[in-house]
Structure 1
Amino acid sequence: MSPERFSRINTMLNNRQPDLTVCLDKVHKCNNIAAVIRTADAIGIHEIHAVWPDLDMRVSGNTASGSQQWVKTVKHHHINDAVSAFRHKDMQILATNFSDSAIDFREIDYTKPTVVLLGNERDGVSPEGIASADQHIIIPMQGMVQSLNVSVAAALIMYEAQRQRQAANMYGECKLDHYYCQTKLFEQGHPIYAKACKRKKLPYPAIDNTGQILADDAWWQAMRAPIAKA
């Protein structure tokens, strides 16, 4: 791994915000999901959530522009499953919804652990998601149309969260699990060896503080050995 690649991956890991996320409530268009993932990566969001009853969920690689390699999508079969996970992490749950109690999305304190629920453009957030929210939020609009594409709405809200967190100096210090960081450094810094490990069912080695592989002779011998034929 080059020093430049090592530095870039570490910078990304150091800026990830594991306590900030969005949850797409039955957003079915794969290009919208991919666009949200791409923005999430730019913001520094570690993973997004998607309520998707069908197991066969795919993300458009072209629209995501490779961001799906860096931002994990956690799938839930029902909004209640997602909400339980957020409650377990003590996150404030916000839902985009026109209601009497809704406030401007910029009035929220996004330095708190936060998840934003967004629905599809036809139905919006599900009734269960709306009921579970701690606060409803809206994006003020002055035109005739009172809704935005879900990926655009997500981007506006996420960038406001980023603005607040940058002002609070919440970027620049790694908050992710050490094992996860080591895995990302190996897979993305040494992709050929990572693929070989999967083929040969070898454990991933450690990565040192210069981005190089730390492994004993036995690991290297196993790496060089041909794959036994079945």
Structure 2
Amino acid sequence: MTPERFSRITDMLNHRQPDLTLCLDKVHKSNNVSAIVRTADAVGIHQIHAVMPDRGMQVSGNTASGSQQWVQTVKHRNITQAIEHLKLKNMQIIVTNFSDKAVDFREVDYCQPSAIFLGCERDGVSAEAIALADKQITIPMIGMVQSLNVSVAAGAILYEAQRQRQLADMYGINKLPEAYCQKLLFEQGHPIYAKACRRKGLPYPKIDELGQIKANREWWALMRKPADDPGNIS
């Protein structure tokens, strides 16, 4: 791994916000999902959630521009399961909804642990999510059409959350588990060796403070054995 790539990945990890997330409530159009994932990566979202009871969520590589490699997706069978999971993480549940209870999305404190729910393209956020929400938000509009594409709405809300968190100096400190960071650094910094580890059944080695592989002689010996070596474990 080059020093430049190590620095870039490390900087990305230092800006991830594990206590800020999105939950897609049956958003099914792959181009919208991909655009949301791309924006999530851009503002430092570590993980998004998706309620997909009928079929698997697909992310278009072209629209996501590779961001799906950096943002985890957790799938849930139903909205209750998703909200219970997020409340266990002490997140406030925020839903986008047109109602008398909804406030301007800029009035919410996103520096608190927050899960923002976005609804499907046709029906919006489900009634179940609205009933279980802590807050309802809306994006003010003064045009003839009173709705935004879900990926555009996600972008507006996430950049407001980013603005608030930057003002509160919440970026720049790594808040992610060390095991996750080590795994990502190895897989994304040394992809050929990572593939070989999976093929040979070898454990991932540690990555040192310079981004290089830190492994003992036995590990290197097993890694270097050719595929046709009878002693090879692959």
TM-score normalised to the size of structure 1? Answer: 0.98
2:63 and 2:130 mapped to 1: Cα distance? 29
Counterparts in 2 of 1:217 and 1:55: CA distance versus 1, 3 Å = farther
Partner residue, 1:95? 95
2:31 and 2:135 mapped to 1: Cα distance? 28
Instruction: Give CA-to-partner distance per residue, 1:49-87, whole Å, 9 cap, x none.
Output: 010013533211111000000001110110111000111
Partner residue, 1:131? 131
- Letter of the aligned partner of 1:221 in structure 2? A
- The reply on whether 1:195 has 2:201 as its aligned counterpart is no
Partner residue, 1:155? 155
- Letter of the aligned partner of 1:138 in structure 2? T
Q: Is the 8 A contact 1:121 1:147 kept in 2?
A: no
Q: Is the 8 A contact 2:118 2:124 kept in 1?
A: yes
1:58 and 1:138 mapped to 2: Cα distance? 27
Q: How far apart are residue 92 of structure 1 and its match?
A: 0.5
Q: How far apart are residue 226 of structure 1 and its match?
A: 2.8
Would you identify which runs of 4 or more consecutive aligned residues in structure 1 move more than 6 Å? none
Map 1:43-192; keep pairs closer than 5 Å: 43-192=43-192
2:38 and 2:100 mapped to 1: Cα distance? 32
Partner residue, 1:208? 208
Map 1:34-49; keep pairs closer than 5 Å: 34-49=34-49
**SS of match in other structure, 1:159:** helix
Structure 2 regions of 5+ residues with no counterpart?
none
Q: How far apart are residue 222 of structure 1 and its match?
A: 0.9
2:189 and 2:165 mapped to 1: Cα distance? 28
Q: How far apart are residue 229 of structure 1 and its match?
A: 9.0
Structure 1 regions of 5+ residues with no counterpart?
none
1:200 and 1:35 mapped to 2: Cα distance? 36
Cα RMSD (Å) of the superposition?
1.1
**SS of match in other structure, 1:118:** strand
1:139 and 1:219 mapped to 2: Cα distance? 55
1:19 and 1:192 mapped to 2: Cα distance? 32
Q: Is the 8 A contact 2:50 2:75 kept in 1?
A: yes
Q: How far apart are residue 120 of structure 1 and its match?
A: 1.2
Partner residue, 1:26? 26
**SS of match in other structure, 2:17:** coil
Counterparts in 2 of 1:108 and 1:229: CA distance versus 1, 3 Å = closer
2:142 and 2:81 mapped to 1: Cα distance? 36
2:116 and 2:209 mapped to 1: Cα distance? 36
**SS of match in other structure, 1:90:** coil
TM-score normalised to the size of structure 2? Answer: 0.96
1:184 and 1:69 mapped to 2: Cα distance? 9
1:42 and 1:142 mapped to 2: Cα distance? 28
* Identity %, equivalent residues: 67
2:97 and 2:56 mapped to 1: Cα distance? 28
